[in-house]
Structure 1
Amino acid sequence: MQQFWWEVESPAERWLLAALGCGLGGLGLVLALVLRCVQLPYGRYASPSFGPGLPARAAWFVQELPALLVPLVLSSGAARLHHSPNRVLLGLFLMHYLHRALIFPFLIRGGKPTPLITFLLAFIFCLFNGYLQGRSLSNYAEYPSDWLKHPCFIAGFAGWLIGMVINIHSDHILRSLRKPGETGYKIPKRGMFEYVTGANFFGEILEWFGFALACCTIESAGFAMCTLFILASRARQHHEWYLEKFEDYPKSRKIVIPFLY
C-alpha cells in the first residue's frame, strides 16, 4: 500500500517542528515590537491607502480555513491518532477553527473590507500553524494512556474551554453594540469587557495557553506565546483608541489581562 509523505515520521522533522515552535514564539515578539511602530490595517484602522480590500466575510472564511483543513489532511493515516490523547488534543484545535472558519464569518454584520495584505498574512499564518500543530499532534507528540486524567490536561482543558467561551461571548457583545442600520462605535459593556478592553483577545489568549498546558509540546507553547504577543499589541491599540475617542471610557479597565495589564 502506498504511504503518503505525511504518514512518515523522521527525527529530522521532529527537530524541525520543535525549532519552528520556538521560532513562532519569537516571531510573535518581533511582530509585537513592529506593531508598536506600524499600525496593522484591519477593521477600524483600515483605509484605501493600504490597497484593495476583500469582503470581510469571504476574507475571514478563506484565511482561517487552512488551520482547519491542513490538520485534517495530516491526520489521515497518522499513527499517533490511534491514541486517545492525541485525538482529543487535535480535536480541541480543530473545534476552534471550525468556529472561526465556518461559523464566525457568517455572523459578521457588515464589516469593513479586509486589506489584501492583512488577509495574506493571516492566511499564511493559519497555513503554517495548521501544519505545525496538526503534524505535531498527529505524528510526534507522545502521551501516557492516562494523560486525559493528568492534572496538566485537566487544568489546560478547563483554560481552553473557559477561554473559548469568553472569546465567543465577547464577540457576541461586540456584534450586539450596533442595531440594524447603525454605524459608528460604542463602548462595549458586560462580560469581561467590564475588566479589560480586549475581552475577546483575553479569551483567545487564555484558550491557547490552556491548550498549550494540555498538550505540553513546544509547538503549542510557541503558538500560545505568539498569540499573547500579537493580541496584547492589538488590545493596547484598541485601548488607546477608546481612551482617545471616548472621554467617559472607564479608566479602571486594563488592556487585556484582568487586574494586571
Structure 2
Amino acid sequence: MSLFRKFLFPPPSSLFVNAMSFIGVISLCAIGFGEIRGKHLNYSKFWRSNPEKNLKKENSISSTKGMLTVYTPAFVASMVSFGFIEWQLRPLLLSSTLALHFCKRIVEVLFVHRYSGGMMLDTSFLISLSYFLSSVTMIYSQSLTPGHPEPALDLKYIGVPLFLLGITGNFYHHYLLSKLRKNQSDGYKIPSGGLFGLAVCPHYLFEILGFVGVTFIAQTLYALAFTLGTISYLMGRSYATRKWYLAHFKDFPRERKALIPYIF
C-alpha cells in the first residue's frame, strides 16, 4: 500500500468511481481476450471478416458516421468539463489532454482515415458510451482529489511529454495507414514506414503511451484502471490484427510483431 501511495492519490470514497474502476478494467480485459479468441468489435477489416454481421445492413452505418458517433460525445464532455473543474494545474492538464485526444480523433475521421466498410450501430454506440463514461469518470475522479495528500512522486511533468509523444506517434502512423489507400482502394495492403516494419500496430503502441501519459497526469486509481484495461484491449486487438494479416497475405513477414517491436 505504501508503494501504491507513492504513485496515486488515495482511492476516493465514491462508490461510483470505485465501481467504474473495477467494471472498466474487467470489461476491457474481457473484450481484449475476446479479440484474441476471434470475437471482434466489428469495424475496419474485422467487419469484412464476419459475414453474419455483413448481412445486417439495416443495422449498419458508414464508418465515418460511426466513428464520429464514437468520439464526439467524449470530446464534448471534455470541453464542457472546463466549466466545472478546479482551475488548478493537474485538473486543467487532464481535461486538456482528453479534449486534445478526442479532437485529434475527430480530425482524423474527417480528414485522414480512409474507410472501406461500414460499422454496426450497436458497436458504434457501445464504444461511444464507453469513451464518454470513461472521460466523465476520469474527470470526476480527479475532482475528488483536492484535500487529499499528493502522491509522493509527482508524475504529471513526465505525463505531459509522454502524452504528446503518444498522440504524435499515433497520428503519424495513422497517416501512413491512410496513404495505403490514397486512391480510395478497397483493398488492404501490408503497412510500411515508421515502426510498421517492426510491428503490425505501432499506432496502438503510441496510443498506449498516450494513455500512460494521461495516467501520470491524473495519478488516480480510475485513470490507472482505465489505462490497464486499454492496454489489455489493444494487446488483444493487435494480436488479432497480426493474425488477420498472416491469414490474408502469404508474403507477410512472420518476424513482425503485433504491438511491441521485438517483444510482442
What's the TM-score once normalised by structure 2's chain length? 0.84
CA contact (8 A) 1:85 1:143 kept: no
Q: Distance in 2 between matches of 1:19 and 1:250?
A: 43
Q: Distance in 2 between matches of 1:238 and 1:30?
A: 17
Q: Distance in 2 between matches of 1:232 and 1:68?
A: 25
| 1:118-159 deviation line (CA, Å, top 9, x unaligned) | 11211111221122122223x223499x99xx7512222222
**Residue of structure 2 equivalent to 1:41:** 42
- Corresponding residue to 1:59 among 66, 70, 90: 66
Instruction: Work out the percentage of aligned pairs sharing the same amino acid.
Output: 21
| Distance change in 2, residues 1:126/1:181 (3 Å) | closer
Q: Distance in 2 between matches of 1:66 and 1:85?
A: 22
**Residue of structure 1 equivalent to 2:209:** 206
| 1:220-256 deviation line (CA, Å, top 9, x unaligned) | 1111111111111111111011112222222222111
1:90-101 superposed matches below 5 A:
90-101=95-106
| Distance change in 2, residues 1:143/1:250 (3 Å) | farther
Q: Distance in 1 between matches of 2:125 and 2:108?
A: 19
Aligned pairs, number:
245
CA-based RMSD of the aligned residues comes to 2.5
**Residue of structure 2 equivalent to 1:4:** none
What's the TM-score once normalised by structure 1's chain length? 0.85
**Residue of structure 2 equivalent to 1:136:** 141
Q: Which runs of 4+ in 1 moved over 4 A?
A: none
1:51-90 superposed matches below 5 A:
51=56, 52-78=59-85, 81-90=86-95
| Distance change in 2, residues 1:195/1:49 (3 Å) | same
The one-letter code of the counterpart of 1:23 is I
| Distance change in 2, residues 1:95/1:248 (3 Å) | same
**Which blocks of at least 5 consecutive residues in structure 1 are unaligned?**
1-10
| Distance change in 2, residues 1:37/1:247 (3 Å) | closer
Which has the bigger relative contact order, CA under 8 A and spacing at least 6?
2
- Corresponding residue to 1:194 among 193, 197, 202: 197
Shift of 1:53: 1.6
SS of the counterpart of 1:54?
Answer: strand
- Corresponding residue to 1:254 among 251, 257, 263: 257
